[in-house]
Amino acid sequence: MRYCGRDFTPAEIDLIRELLNLPQINRARLSREVCERLSWRRDNGALKDMSCRVALNRMHADGLISLPAPRNPKPVTYRSYPHIEQAVLPPDSTPSIELRTLQIEPVLTKADSLLWNTYIERHHYLGHQPMPGAQLRYFVRAGGHIVAALGFGASAWKVKPRDRLIGWTQEQRQRNLHLVVNNARFLILPWIHCQNLASRILALVSRRLPDDWRARYAYRPVLLETFVEKPRFAGTCYRAANWRYLGDTQGRGKLDVLHHRAKPIKGIWIYPLAHNFQRQLCNR
């Protein structure tokens, strides 16, 4: 079975099941134990703990293993810190933006993570929500000033127009869905005004993300997707950055089994990161 770019043998799956029988085992400890036992490490020797956690969650969803319940099943979605709240207030003067000075910077430190969360909570219309599984977050700076923030995470499980375009089977989707990455948040700070800024950012980050994702998770995604709420947004910047519009969602959330929950209609946009993305998503 292949998870997060790694093939797991039946013997390794059995080893994971044995580790689950250890006394006082929890998900965090299990992930570290699996990485140690299977020598799953980065080039710098660090454990691939995040990739392992994603892989274990997918094994659990596939019925291969039964993970213990999370220690914090309802995590705090956002925590306020006064000094960071001050840092995300509009500046006294609006900085001028030159597109050639744009820099895409991954969020790597705890301080940057808290700052990113606060920008999203205070200035994005959806607010901050933890992104499950594998993810990358970015700041965009121009002349030293933060002008935008982006977040990428797990793709949607089922999207009819996307799945029809790819042409994969249910088994192929289950096996290869991790190769599709969702642009879950895109925020340009409300006091920033610059023509073509959004499309330029999307172009820069789409070129950088595959290498960053591979460095962190040991595999390269082949497709980006995003969902643009209508009629709030038209998706103009995605179109300008050569993303492809596939159609609209049906306005149903993940929990809408009985078709009772109305959700906003969203436009579905994709951006291939590989010219043969359909073949890669169907043939692995």
Cα distances (angstroms) measured from residue 46 to each of 3, 50, 138, 139: 19, 11, 22, 25
Neighbours of 36 (CB within 10 A): 12
**pLDDT tens track of the chain, all 284 residues?**
888 878 999 999 999 999 999 988 999 999 999 999 999 988 778 888 888 998 998 899 888 999 998 876 665 667 888 899 999 998 888 888 889 999 999 999 999 999 999 999 999 999 998 887 789 999 999 988 999 999 999 898 889 999 999 999 988 998 899 999 999 999 999 999 999 999 999 999 999 999 999 999 889 999 999 999 998 999 999 999 999 999 999 876 544 444 555 678 999 999 999 999 999 999 86
In a domain, 73, yes or no: no
Domain with 277, as residue range(s), is 82-283
Same domain, 134 and 220: yes
The CATH number for 198's domain is: 3.40.630.30
Same domain, 86 and 223: yes
What is the structure's pLDDT at 2? 86
In a domain, 69, yes or no: no
Give one word for 239, left, alpha or beta, with left for phi > 0 and alpha for psi -120 to 50.
Answer: alpha
Which residues, in sequence order, are CB contacts of 222 under 8 Å at separation 6+? 179, 180, 272, 273, 274, 277, 280, 281
Same domain, 137 and 16: no
The single residue listed with the structure tokens 């994709």 is 270
In a domain, 219, yes or no: yes
Cβ-contact 132, 153 below 8 angstroms: yes
Q: Give the pairing type, strands 180-188 and 223-229.
A: parallel
The number of domains in the chain is 2
Same domain, 149 and 55: no
Which residues, in sequence order, are CB contacts of 226 under 8 Å at separation 6+? 182, 183, 184, 186, 238, 243, 269
HSE at residue 238, side-chain half, CA atoms within 13 A, is 21
Residue from 173, 280, 174, 166 nearest 222 by CA:
280
| Strand, coil or helix: 113 | helix
Same domain, 104 and 196: yes
Same domain, 185 and 239: yes
The single residue listed with the structure tokens 């969203």 is 266
Same domain, 44 and 135: no
Same domain, 52 and 89: no
Same domain, 228 and 262: yes
